[in-house]
């Protein structure tokens, strides 16, 4: 496989706009006119690629989709109004009543709820497994399995899926491999590793400002066309449309993503090592003794580090809650959900972003009561940040 640079691909996709603006113009139109009725008819029939209606696409959202497709090295893409809009539309496009999905058991809580609760309404069966264990995946597949779904870096335990191994198995069995790359944009290129469809919550690292919600679906042109089909396309008919102003915001932020991911990774690596040094049980795949280190090192793009997420266990919820409250009071970051912000965001996973997962399953898969997730920010003085964290650990007699 030739070396691929996601950042260069994004930069090379920007040719300005039709008025020679260095940033793309914002389309403020919900609908678009045609020279003739025949041209309009041809567009409705799929024979004319003109813009028709902004629920389908417009010049601004199309430019963002084009840049994201360049980043992922896919033929095409769609941007949506939320990450869940991208995820649910993808599932509903790929499965029908009576079908089966094999999914990672550690995924974003909203995704888990959709898979475990909502899909039952349309008679779609889901089996939850550890997708970092290829043998578990193989054992779960049935004759009616249509999708294998995983996150490259699992939320919240940070397990790393072996995408090439999953792709080889799924394609040999005529199963679509769908990968959520929200935690690791640029760090992984799932399509180049064999994934069929890549989905994102753009809200997180890609946008980086926590000032909007958005999602994306990246795949081959045929898949994207079918999802936008006027008569049968799930994205077209369900309508998870991204606003043009928001699309222009994300597109501008996309050009600094490589710098941000490098700094997030650098800071997270520093903090993870410090936690380990003081005896805290920490998960970070950039540590050589982490279970995901080998797979991640083998399959990642090398220029962006091991990511900005760390997880660690403080023993119980009460200790974790006190720790995070004091960290917020000291200005280390915010006790808030989400990730990818320029300040550190932290939460207790089992009582927040993974709360949709039943407690008995949390216990089974390793989401302990004290499990705490950090999305490490872009702090310039990361040593001062650690000083405040260590001070808090000592004040609360955690260490």
The model's confidence at residue 19, banded by pLDDT at 50, 70 and 90, is: confident
Residue after which a domain boundary falls, among 195, 229, 254: 254
Same domain assignment for residues 176 and 265? no
Give every CB contact of residue 179 below 8 A, 6+ residues apart in sequence.
149, 150, 151, 152, 161, 163, 190, 195, 197, 198, 199
The model's confidence at residue 33, banded by pLDDT at 50, 70 and 90, is: very high
The model's confidence at residue 169, banded by pLDDT at 50, 70 and 90, is: very high
Q: Mean pLDDT over residues 348-373, rounded?
A: 75
Location of structure tokens 């994207």: 224
Same domain assignment for residues 242 and 269? no
For residues 136 and 129, the answer to whether their CB atoms sit within 8 Å is yes
pLDDT tens digits for range 237-254: 999 999 999 999 999 999
- For residue 110, tell me if it sits in a domain: yes
Same domain assignment for residues 245 and 355? no
- For residue 1, tell me if it sits in a domain: no
- For residue 237, tell me if it sits in a domain: yes
Same domain assignment for residues 174 and 301? no
C-alpha–C-alpha distance, residues 67 and 73, integer Å: 10
The pLDDT mean for the chain works out to 94
Q: Is the pLDDT of residue 2 over 70?
A: no
- The predicted pLDDT at position 1 comes to 47
What residue numbers bound the domain in which 153 lies? 6-254
- The predicted pLDDT at position 70 comes to 97
pLDDT tens digits for range 43-84: 988 888 899 999 999 999 999 999 999 999 999 999 999 999
Same domain assignment for residues 127 and 241? yes
Location of structure tokens 């200005």: 331
- Kindly report the CA angle at 36 between 30 and 41, in degrees rounded to 5? 70
Same domain assignment for residues 20 and 144? yes
Same domain assignment for residues 61 and 87? yes
- For residue 215, tell me if it sits in a domain: yes
Residue after which a domain boundary falls, among 204, 221, 254: 254
**DSSP readout, 248-263?**
HHHHHHHTTHHHHHHH
Same domain assignment for residues 34 and 123? yes
- For residue 339, tell me if it sits in a domain: yes
C-alpha–C-alpha distance, residues 387 and 373, integer Å: 19
Q: Mean pLDDT over residues 161-177, rounded?
A: 98
Burial class (CB in 10 A: 0-12, 13-18, 19+), 229: middle
Tell me, what CATH number does 339's domain have?
Answer: 3.90.1150.10
Tell me the sheet residues that pair with 178: 149, 197
- The predicted pLDDT at position 359 comes to 76
- For residue 281, tell me if it sits in a domain: yes
Same domain assignment for residues 148 and 214? yes
Tell me, what CATH number does 158's domain have?
Answer: 3.40.640.10
Tell me the sheet residues that pair with 104: 129
C-alpha–C-alpha distance, residues 242 and 152, integer Å: 24
C-alpha–C-alpha distance, residues 186 and 170, integer Å: 23
Same domain assignment for residues 215 and 298? no
Same domain assignment for residues 237 and 166? yes
User: pTM for the complete prediction?
Assistant: 0.95
Q: Mean pLDDT over residues 12-22, rounded?
A: 82
- For residue 214, tell me if it sits in a domain: yes
Same domain assignment for residues 287 and 239? no
Q: Sort strands 76-80 and 309-313 into parallel, antiparallel or unpaired.
A: unpaired
Residue after which a domain boundary falls, among 239, 254, 269: 254
Give every CB contact of residue 397 below 8 A, 6+ residues apart in sequence.
none
- For residue 57, tell me if it sits in a domain: yes
The count of structural domains within the chain is: 2
For residues 336 and 325, the answer to whether their CB atoms sit within 8 Å is no
């Amino acid at each position: 496989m030739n070396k691929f640079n996601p950042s260069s691909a994004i930069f090379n996709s920007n040719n300005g706009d039709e008025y020679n603006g260095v940033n793309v113009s914002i389309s403020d139109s919900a609908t678009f006119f045609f020279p003739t009725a025949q041209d309009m008819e041809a567009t409705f029939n799929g024979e004319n690629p003109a813009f028709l209606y902004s629920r389908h696409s417009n010049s601004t959202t199309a430019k963002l989709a084009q840049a994201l497709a360049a980043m992922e090295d896919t033929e095409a893409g769609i941007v949506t109004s939320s990450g869940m809009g991208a995820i649910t539309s993808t599932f509903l496009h790929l499965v029908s009543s009576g079908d089966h999905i094999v999914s990672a058991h550690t995924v974003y809580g909203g995704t888990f709820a959709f898979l475990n609760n909502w899909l039952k309404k349309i008679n779609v069966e889901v089996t939850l497994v550890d997708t970092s264990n290829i043998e578990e995946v193989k054992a779960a597949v049935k004759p009616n399995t249509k999708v294998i779904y995983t996150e490259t870096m699992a939320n919240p335990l940070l397990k790393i899926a072996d995408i090439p191994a999953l792709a080889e198995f799924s394609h040999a069995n005529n199963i679509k491999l769908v990968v959520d790359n929200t935690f690791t944009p640029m760090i992984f290129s799932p399509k180049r590793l064999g994934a069929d469809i890549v989905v994102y919550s753009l809200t997180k690292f890609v946008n980086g400002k926590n000032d909007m919600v958005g999602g994306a679906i990246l795949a081959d042109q045929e898949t994207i066309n079918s999802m936008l089909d006027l008569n049968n396309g799930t994205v077209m008919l369900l309508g998870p449309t991204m606003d043009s102003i928001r699309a222009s915001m994300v597109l501008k932020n996309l050009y600094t993503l490589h710098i941000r991911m490098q700094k997030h990774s650098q800071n997270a690596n520093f903090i993870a090592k410090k936690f380990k040094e003081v005896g805290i049980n920490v998960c970070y795949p950039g540590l050589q003794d982490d279970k995901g280190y080998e797979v991640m090192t083998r399959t990642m793009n090398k220029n962006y580090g091991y990511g900005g997420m760390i997880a660690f266990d403080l023993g119980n919820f009460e200790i974790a809650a006190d720790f995070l409250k004091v960290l917020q009071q000291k200005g280390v970051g915010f006790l808030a959900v989400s990730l990818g912000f320029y300040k550190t965001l932290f939460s207790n996973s089992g009582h927040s972003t993974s709360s949709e997962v039943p407690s008995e399953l949390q216990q089974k898969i390793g989401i302990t009561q004290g499990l705490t997730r950090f999305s490490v920010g872009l702090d310039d003085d990361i040593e001062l940040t650690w000083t405040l964290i260590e001070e808090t650990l000592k004040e609360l007699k955690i260490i």
